[in-house]
Amino acid sequence: MTRILLTRHGQTIWNIEGRVQGSLDSPLTEKGILQARSLAVRLRNEGIERIYSSDSLRAIGTAEEIRCELGLETITTNPALREFAFGEWEGRIWQDLREENPDVFRIWDLQPHLVTTPSGENMRLLMERAWNYLQQILKLHAEETVCVVTHGLTLKMIVTKALGFKVHEWAKTPWQHNTALNIFEVVGQQWTPRLIGDCKHLDELEMN
């Protein structure tokens, strides 16, 4: 059995600003760093042997907090774990895009899997690239415990696939908040969920 722990990066400046990130980047906020540290402490006794991360700096920064807490030597990064490529939308304010493209966002709000962003990608392509890379991780680290740090929509699509749902069934899985934790046990092609989208490590942080 292989254990896969999947999580999202901490809060960023662009998260606060309501700005599209995608393959572009934005630094972790002070709160985002604290979220990552709280997650790292929570993961202390999970027996994690490897850490994989998107090559975006916000994901690497989160993975680095985990690496330091666990005393591991390296993080392996790969662009296959990047966020959804929003193309020409990246760097823009979400609300501005909504006002400029009402017809597109009427579809995006109800059936986002039908939208390919300008010069970007769609949810099917996102799911395929992330899932295919996870299969490589599983082959390399059979019987190990691996932590994967990625992004909100990417993580949601991975969890959707892991739970046996199709792309168009994305709404059946919960949104993945900053540093949300998902734990799966994998035997062959069977992914068994042990925890989905959990943020209890942030409870004390949110109260302060």
Q: Give yes or no: 9 in active site.
A: yes
Return the beta strands (E) in 9-73 as ranges. Answer: 50-53
Q: Give yes or no: 201 in active site.
A: no
E strand or H helix that includes residue 21: none
Query: Do strands 50-53 and 76-77 pair parallel, antiparallel, or not at all (unpaired)?
Result: parallel
Distance, in Å, from the CA atom of 25 to the CA atom of 13, rounded to the nearest integer, reads 10
Return the beta strands (E) in the chain as ranges. Answer: 2-8, 50-53, 76-77, 145-150, 181-187, 190-198
Catalytic residue among 9, 141, 177, 201: 9
CB 78 within 8 A of CB 135: no
Catalytic residue among 151, 168, 177, 201: 151
Q: Provide CB contacts within 8 A for 207, sequence distance 6+.
A: none
Active site residues: 9, 151
